[in-house]
């Protein structure tokens, strides 16, 4: 994993946008796995600005949702679906045939995971996986544990994860989560990890130590041959 530090969130987001544009310039049908949350928001805004300048560049771009809160209506304002529709799918005019998304409240959660896994295989794997760093070191909803799941799975949510602003804004808390597994993430051709916010001082120090542990799932990114971590000087 390569770590690049920036003077502020804006500069970090600008660099992240440039990485996405470079990927699309090299391959228009790039499959991007998209995370939600505070860290990537400004990057998505800058990508939308780029779309307005050169929409043809995004005409074949494909999007895969990284994770989702479980047992919550899809239209809830704090689902990952609503976030991606607002910041990515609608601004970039991504057609439904170029977007693969976990349902938040399917009839059979385990079958939903099988469906998404088959979609990943059908699309030939992830080209660029965008990730944020959870307060407990999770990526996606791969939570700290004695062992980690390789494939798409239903995730038990930790108490710390349930303190995420998206979850705390829900009247009824999600009972579980959906997420890509560690193998899905680590088999991505390129990974972009965005770490922003002084509240992540402690966990970022643990991550940047280079020690690999299932207690910090993000630490497995050190094993990937092409991971770029962008952060700002608040935390590194």
The catalytic position among 23, 127, 143, 232 is 143
159 flagged as catalytic: no
184 flagged as catalytic: no
75 flagged as catalytic: no
Sign of the Cα pseudo-torsion (21, 235, 77, 71, in order): positive
> Which pairing describes strands 227-232 and 62-65: parallel, antiparallel, or unpaired?
unpaired
Q: How far is CA 87 from the centre of its chain?
A: 13
The catalytic position among 18, 136, 151, 234 is 136
Q: Are 47 and 17 in contact (CB under 8 A)?
A: yes
Burial class of residue 70, CB neighbours in 10 A (0-12, 13-18, 19+): buried
The secondary structure of 72-101 as a DSSP string is S-TTSTTSHHHHHIIIIITTTT--GGGEE-
Place of tokens 């972009």: 192
The catalytic position among 23, 50, 127, 138 is 138
206 flagged as catalytic: no
The catalytic position among 23, 67, 81, 184 is 67
Q: Which residues are catalytic?
A: 67, 136, 138, 143
């Amino acid at each position: 994993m390569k770590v690049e530090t920036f003077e502020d969130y804006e500069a970090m987001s600008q660099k992240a946008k440039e990485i996405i544009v470079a990927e699309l310039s090299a391959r228009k049908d790039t499959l991007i796995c998209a995370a939600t949350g505070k860290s990537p928001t400004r990057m998505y805004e800058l990508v939308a600005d780029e779309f307005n300048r050169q929409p043809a560049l995004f005409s074949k771009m494909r999007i895969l949702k990284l994770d989702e809160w479980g047992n919550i209506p899809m239209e809830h304002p704090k689902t990952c679906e609503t976030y991606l529709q607002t910041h990515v799918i609608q601004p970039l005019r991504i057609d439904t045939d170029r977007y693969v998304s976990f349902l938040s409240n399917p009839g059979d959660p385990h079958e939903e995971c099988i469906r998404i896994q088959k979609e990943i295989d059908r699309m030939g794997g992830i080209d660029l996986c965008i990730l944020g760093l959870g307060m407990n070191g999770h990526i996606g909803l791969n939570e700290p544990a004695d062992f980690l799941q390789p494939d798409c799975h239903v995730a038990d949510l930790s108490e710390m994860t349930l303190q995420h602003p998206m979850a705390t804004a829900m009247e009824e808390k999600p009972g579980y989560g959906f997420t890509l597994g560690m193998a899905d993430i680590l088999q991505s051709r390129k990974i972009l990890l965005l770490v922003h916010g002084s509240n992540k001082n402690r966990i970022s120090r643990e991550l940047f130590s280079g020690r690999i542990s299932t207690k910090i799932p993000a630490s497995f990114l050190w094993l990937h041959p092409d991971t770029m971590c962008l952060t700002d000087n608040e935390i590194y």
